[in-house]
Amino acid sequence: MTPIFNESIDQAPSAEIVTRRRVRLFPLLIGVAGLALVGRTVDIYTGVDLMFAAAQAEEQETTATTEGQDAATAEHAADAAAPVADTGAPAIIGLPSSEEMELLSQLRQRRLELDKRARELDEQEKTLLAFEKRIDDKIGQLKVLEEQVKSHLKVFEDQEAEQLASIVKVYETMPAKEAAPRFEMLGLETQMDLVTRMKPLKVAALMAKMSPDAASRLTTELANVAQAPNLEDIQGNN
């Protein structure tokens, strides 16, 4: 019984010592854990900063690459737009040579000249059409005026014919002895107008009472009127 009791007594201090050691180590563990937590936090923030820095660097690199590509494209376009110098070297396939560029320029200039000439011809045609229309209008007005003149002449001729018919009736009614002196006082043209409208018997009686000279002149004029017209007169009338 004694050895067992002694062993229990010897083990009791060891348990207390262990407990005390645990109590002493606990704050130390807490401190170590705090330091580890602080370090982890620093690592997290540092990682975030590194991520942002990497993202900014990547964005800058992408921007620089894009700008470089744009500059290269612009330079290529400028080179393509610039005329190719005639150095005797073979022309690049796909690009026009200087002769072709000059030919195209000449063709373009010729096209512009032809377009200008076409516009000028169109304007001249419009002017001629307008002038032709004015001429047609004038011709139409002249035709209307001609019809009006013909109408007035017809009226005048009708009135003149009525007056001559009235005078003829007077001379036919008058005795030849009284009518002859008055008839001789008329002009030869008027005598012809009246005689050509009078009855032949009345004309013969009138001329018998006229003087020989007046009757001779009237007879000669009647003979000239009865003759056929000359060729010059026919051509002149045409």
Give the list of residues 6+ apart from residue 215 with CB closer than 8 angstroms, or none. Answer: 207, 208
**Which has the minimum average pLDDT: 75-84, 209-218, 223-232?**
75-84
Q: Is the pLDDT reported for residue 165 higher than 80?
A: yes
Q: Best-predicted range by mean pLDDT among 36-40, 87-91, 228-232?
A: 228-232
How far apart (Å, rounded) are the C-alpha atoms in residues 137 and 144? 11
**Residue 98 contacts residue 83 (beta carbons within 8 Å):** yes
Q: Tokens standing for 214?
A: 């007046």
Which CATH architecture describes the domain 145-226? Orthogonal Bundle (1.10)
pTM over 0.85? The answer is no
Percent of the chain with pLDDT strictly greater than 90: 37
pLDDT on residue 226: 63
Domain boundaries, the chain: 11-64, 145-226
130 pLDDT tier (thresholds 50, 70, 90): very high
Q: How many C-beta atoms surround the C-beta of residue 197 within 10 A?
A: 16
Q: Is the pLDDT reported for residue 176 higher than 80?
A: yes
pLDDT on residue 84: 45
How far apart (Å, rounded) are the C-alpha atoms in residues 97 and 25? 91
* Residue range 26-71, pLDDT digits in tens: 555 565 555 555 455 545 545 545 554 555 555 566 555 555 555 5
* Residue range 25-37, pLDDT digits in tens: 555 556 555 555 5
DSSP string, the chain: -HHHHHHHHHHHHHHHHHHHHHHHHHHHHHHHHHHHHHHHHHHHHHHHHHHHHHHHHHHHHHHHHHHHHHHHHHHHHHHHHSPPP-SSSPPPTTS--HHHHHHHHHHHHHHHHHHHHHHHHHHHHHHHHHHHHHHHHHHHHHHHHHHHHHHHHHHHHHHHHHHHHHHHHHHHHS-HHHHHHHHHTS-HHHHHHHHTTS-HHHHHHHHHHS-HHHHHHHHHHHHHHHSPPPHHHHHHH-
